[in-house]
Structures are given as structure tokens and as C-alpha cells.
């Protein structure tokens, strides 16, 4: 009887442990969704502003759309170079929040704002040479000149965009990402109205054409910065951190730490976006039709990417907070829960895009204009080719975000170099031009590069978290692995 009782007790204990594990995973999923939803919605809102600009510019014709594509190549190349610096605010602030170190949270934000200005001034200047850069890269002179005009208005958005990201990361680390969403939702219609007015000379505004769309984006981004600082200084729980207090006080130690953590993030972003930028240039070598189709398909990919990117930022915060609490089991749960959420979302969205692939391009180009027929058809084909691309892109960004929460940024940088430039680019070029598959071949090469990166990142996170969980320890707070 005693043995039977012992066996029953053991089974009950095992069942209770399983139930407890399920409860922990369920709670992690709920907490990640609660944090990720407003962050993803904010990302979608920012893409909505860009998409509105592209829709308005698309009505100016195919050459204007191609020029916008080239201009965004220049802008985002500069943007990603500094994005890692402000992205590093999230893990530093989240770890400090988990460790209950409020002063470190403010310091992390302060050095992030410093980095945005220090990196932003020279990179803003680069954009004013955008037309010359594009011509030197073999783009059509007339299209490059039009892109340059767009950049003259758009370039001013760089520093405000980074500052807004740094502030948003600070708020997210406190589990309060909602204000950034509210501000973004207000900014979307304002950006559309201002862009329409400045493009066409309506609403009492001067007619600036394509430059007006860029200028509208810059003005709205500056207003968003003013709004988010106002929220931080007047609302709780942000007010108690006095985010503007000591802003001019040097903090070289933490700035160095942020740079060491953030530069590899920028490098990985740069390598990834650099691959897509080169893909855009290769599309330009094929022709304006291919370039316009690529821009449409890439814009759709960008929209789909924003939800996993929001989940990725939530993963950084959740992993970072668990790291600050020194809880290795929670670190592992946070990362894999986020990866599962991103995978489920991308599968569902990919199915929808595949079904409506012939209708989506008409949102960007006038389907009634026979001159746009070839670009619309090619864009629909690229959207179908991109089915696997979208899913892999979601997985890799969430896995990368989870690793950032562990301060692990240097090894992923090497993985990005291997995946995108040693594998992805040569395959894209070979399939696109060597195998004469054109735009389809280039997208197939991009997909192969993303697949490599996604697998490497997931394996990296699994190995790091498995080792620390088994050892009952956690990863260091003060340096990358």
C-alpha cells in the first residue's frame, strides 16, 4: 500500500509540475502579447505613414515611385547605421528595471539620446548628396535627381526618428509602450494631410512635388518627438525618472557600454538592409518596371515585418527583465514564446498575401493605367515568391531581439555577415543574372540568406539558454557574449 501511495503521489507531483509549466508558458505568452501589441501597432503606424507617402507619390507616376525607392535606399542605409545605438537602450533599461535600478534606466535613455544626435548629424548631411551617390552607383540620372529632391525634405527626419525610438524603448522597458502608439496614431492622418498639401499645393501650402512628401515626414517626426517628451515629463510612471534631468551631464562609461552593445546591432541591421539595398540597385539595373515592382513587394514585406519586429522588441524587454532578475528559466521562456508568436502571425499573413497578391499592387499603382500593367504583374509574382521570405524574416528578427535581451550582439553580427553577404548576395546575383531569372531570382537569393540567418540565430539562443538553465546561472549583465 505504501508503494502504491508513493507512486500516486509521484504521479500527482509530476502532473502538478506539468500544469505549473503550462501555466508559466501561458502567462509568458499573455505578457508578451500584451507588451508586443502596442509596440507592433506603433511599428505598423510608422509604416502606414511611409505607405501613405508612397501611395501619394505613386499617383505622380512610375518614375516617381522608382525615385522614392532609391531615396528610401539612401535614407534607410543611414537609418540602420544608427538604429542599433538607440535600440541598445531597450536591453540596458529592461535589465535595470528587472534589477530594480531606476537610476540606470534614466542613464540608459540619456546616452541613447546622445548617440542619436552624435551619429545623426553627419548621416543627415550624407543624404543631401543622395542624387550624386545614386548616379555613382549606376542609377538613371533623371530618376536619381528626383530621388535627391525627395531626400532634401526627408533627410531631416533621421535624428527625430532615432530620438523617438530611444524614448519608445525607455517606455517599453517600463512595460508601458502605449504612449508611443497614441502619438503615432495621431501622426498618421496629420502626415497624410500635410504630405498631400505639400505635394499638390493644397490646403494653403506651397506645391513642392515629391520633396513635399519628404518634408511632411520630417515635420511630423519632429512633432512626435515633442509629444513623447511632453508625455514623459508629465505622466506617471515616466515622470518620476526625470528624463531630461542631467541630459548634458557626461556619462562616458555608460555611453561606451551602449556603443559596444549597439554598434554590432547597427552592423547586423546594416548588413541586412545593405543586402536589400543592393537588391534594389540590382532591380534598377534590370529596369524601372522591376524596380517599381520590387518597391511594392518590399513595402508589403516591410508592413508584415513590423508585427514580428514589435514582438522582437517585446522579446528584448522580456528577456532583459528576466536577465535583470537573474531568472534563466524565464529568459528561455520569453525568447521562445516570442518566436512562436511571430511564426504563427507570419504564416497567417503570408496565406492572405498569397491569395490577394494580384490586388495588393493596385494599392500603390493605378491599375487603370496600361503603363503600370507590367509592374503590377511582376509585383504579384514577387509577393508569391516571398511567401517563405516573410515567415523567415519574422523568425530571424524575433530571435535577434531575444539575443539582444541577453546582450549577445557580436556573434549575431558575424552570423549576419555570413548569411547575407557570403550566402545571400552571391545567390541572389547568380540566380538573377547568371541564371537569367531576373527579379524572381534576386528574391529567391534574399530568401536563402534569411533562412540561413534565422536558423543560426534560433540555434544560438537555444544553446545559450539551455546551458545557463541547466547550470542554474544566468548570463552576464555587463558585456556581450
If you average pLDDT over residues 101-107, what whole number do you get? 91
Overall size of the chain counted in residues: 481
Would the pLDDT of 469 be above 70?
no
Confidence (pLDDT) at 475: 52
Pairwise CA distance, residues 228 & 178, whole Å: 11
- Closest-CA residue to 213 (of 228, 201, 225, 226): 201
pLDDT band with cut points at 50, 70 and 90 for residue 12: very low
- Closest-CA residue to 300 (of 443, 122, 100): 443
Other beta carbons within 10 Å of 285? 13
Of 43-47, 185-189, 218-222, the poorest mean pLDDT is in: 43-47
8 A C-beta contact, residue 235 and residue 99: no
**What pLDDT digit, counting tens, does each position of 245-283 carry?**
878 887 889 999 999 999 999 999 889 878 887 888 898
247 grid coordinates:
541630459
**What pLDDT digit, counting tens, does each position of 68-94 carry?**
888 888 888 888 888 899 999 999 999
Other beta carbons within 10 Å of 338? 32
8 A C-beta contact, residue 293 and residue 378: yes
Mean pLDDT of the chain: 87
- What residues have CB less than 8 Å from 97, skipping those under 6 apart? 105, 173, 174, 175, 320, 321, 324
| pLDDT above 70: percentage of residues in the chain | 92
The gap between the terminal CA atoms of the chain, to the nearest Å, is 53
- What residues have CB less than 8 Å from 322, skipping those under 6 apart? 98, 328, 330, 331, 333, 334, 405
Pairwise CA distance, residues 169 & 241, whole Å: 14
- What residues have CB less than 8 Å from 122, skipping those under 6 apart? none
- The distance from CA 62 to its chain's CA centroid, rounded to whole angstroms, is 27
Pairwise CA distance, residues 118 & 114, whole Å: 6
For cell 546582450, the residue is: 407
- The distance from CA 127 to its chain's CA centroid, rounded to whole angstroms, is 20
- What residues have CB less than 8 Å from 49, skipping those under 6 apart? 187, 188, 191, 192, 217, 220
pLDDT band with cut points at 50, 70 and 90 for residue 454: very high
Greater confidence (447 vs 51) lies with 447
90 grid coordinates:
531597450
350 grid coordinates:
503570408
**What pLDDT digit, counting tens, does each position of 284-310 carry?**
888 888 888 888 888 788 778 888 999
8 A C-beta contact, residue 291 and residue 284: yes
8 A C-beta contact, residue 378 and residue 66: no
Pairwise CA distance, residues 150 & 164, whole Å: 22
Pairwise CA distance, residues 337 & 33, whole Å: 10
Confidence (pLDDT) at 66: 84
Angle at 190 between CA 186 and CA 191, to 5 degrees: 110
8 A C-beta contact, residue 150 and residue 200: no
pLDDT band with cut points at 50, 70 and 90 for residue 55: confident
Would the pLDDT of 13 be above 60?
no
Pairwise CA distance, residues 50 & 259, whole Å: 29
Helices (H), 287-372: 288-324, 328-355
Would the pLDDT of 477 be above 70?
no
- What residues have CB less than 8 Å from 142, skipping those under 6 apart? 63
Confidence (pLDDT) at 9: 47
**What pLDDT digit, counting tens, does each position of 163-179 carry?**
999 999 999 999 999 99
The DSSP string of 251-279 is: -HHHHHHHHHHHHHHHHHHHHHHHHHHHH
Amino acid at each position: 500500500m505504501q508503494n502504491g501511495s508513493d507512486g500516486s503521489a509521484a504521479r500527482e507531483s509530476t502532473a502538478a509540475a506539468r500544469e505549473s509549466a503550462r501555466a508559466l508558458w501561458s502567462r509568458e505568452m499573455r505578457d508578451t502579447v500584451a507588451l508586443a501589441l502596442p509596440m507592433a501597432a506603433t511599428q505598423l503606424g510608422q509604416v502606414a505613414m511611409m505607405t501613405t507617402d508612397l501611395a501619394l507619390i505613386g499617383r505622380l507616376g512610375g518614375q516617381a515611385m522608382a525615385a522614392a525607392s532609391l531615396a528610401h535606399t539612401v535614407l534607410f542605409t543611414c537609418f540602420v547605421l544608427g538604429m542599433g545605438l538607440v535600440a541598445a537602450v531597450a536591453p540596458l533599461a529592461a535589465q535595470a528595471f528587472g534589477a530594480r535600478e531606476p537610476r540606470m534606466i534614466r542613464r540608459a535613455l540619456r546616452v541613447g539620446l546622445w548617440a542619436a544626435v552624435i551619429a545623426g548629424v553627419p548621416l543627415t548631411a550624407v543624404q543631401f548628396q543622395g542624387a550624386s551617390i545614386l548616379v555613382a552607383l549606376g542609377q538613371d540620372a533623371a530618376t536619381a535627381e528626383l530621388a535627391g529632391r525627395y531626400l532634401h525634405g526627408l533627410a531631416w527626419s533621421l535624428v527625430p526618428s532615432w530620438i523617438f525610438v530611444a524614448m519608445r524603448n525607455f517606455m517599453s522597458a517600463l512595460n508601458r509602450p502605449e504612449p508611443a502608439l497614441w502619438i503615432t496614431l495621431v501622426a498618421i492622418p496629420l502626415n497624410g494631410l500635410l504630405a498631400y498639401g505639400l505635394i499638390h499645393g493644397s490646403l494653403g501650402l506651397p506645391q513642392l512635388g515629391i520633396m513635399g512628401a519628404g518634408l511632411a515626414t520630417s515635420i511630423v517626426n519632429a512633432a512626435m518627438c515633442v509629444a513623447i517628451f511632453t508625455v514623459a515629463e508629465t505622466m506617471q510612471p515616466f515622470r518620476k525618472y526625470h528624463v531630461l534631468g542631467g541630459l548634458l551631464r557626461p556619462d562616458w562609461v555608460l555611453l561606451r557600454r551602449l556603443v559596444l552593445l549597439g554598434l554590432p546591432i547597427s552592423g547586423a541591421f546594416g548588413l541586412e538592409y545593405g543586402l536589400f539595398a543592393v537588391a534594389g540597385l540590382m532591380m534598377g539595373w534590370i529596369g524601372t518596371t522591376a524596380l517599381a515592382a520590387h518597391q511594392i513587394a518590399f513595402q508589403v514585406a516591410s508592413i508584415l515585418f513590423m508585427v514580428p519586429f514589435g514582438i522582437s522588441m517585446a522579446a528584448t524587454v522580456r528577456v532583459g527583465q528576466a536577465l535583470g532578475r537573474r531568472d534563466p528559466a524565464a529568459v528561455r521562456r520569453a525568447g521562445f514564446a516570442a518566436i512562436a508568436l511571430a511564426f504563427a502571425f507570419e504564416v497567417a499573413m503570408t496565406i492572405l498575401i498569397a491569395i490577394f497578391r494580384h490586388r495588393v499592387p493596385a494599392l500603390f499603382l493605378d491599375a487603370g493605367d496600361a503603363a503600370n500593367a507590367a509592374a503590377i504583374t511582376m509585383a504579384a509574382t514577387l509577393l508569391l515568391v516571398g511567401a517563405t521570405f516573410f515567415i523567415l524574416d519574422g523568425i530571424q528578427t524575433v530571435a535577434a531581439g531575444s539575443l539582444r535581451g541577453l546582450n549577445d550582439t557580436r556573434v549575431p553580427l558575424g552570423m549576419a555577415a555570413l548569411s547575407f553577404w557570403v550566402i545571400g548576395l552571391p545567390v541572389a546575383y547568380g540566380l538573377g543574372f547568371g541564371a537569367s531569372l531576373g527579379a524572381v531570382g534576386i528574391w529567391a537569393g534574399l530568401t536563402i540568406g534569411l533562412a540561413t540567418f534565422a536558423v543560426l540565430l534560433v540555434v544560438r539562443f537555444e544553446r545559450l539558454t539551455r546551458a545557463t538553465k541547466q547550470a542554474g546561472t544566468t548570463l552576464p549583465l555587463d558585456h556581450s557574449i
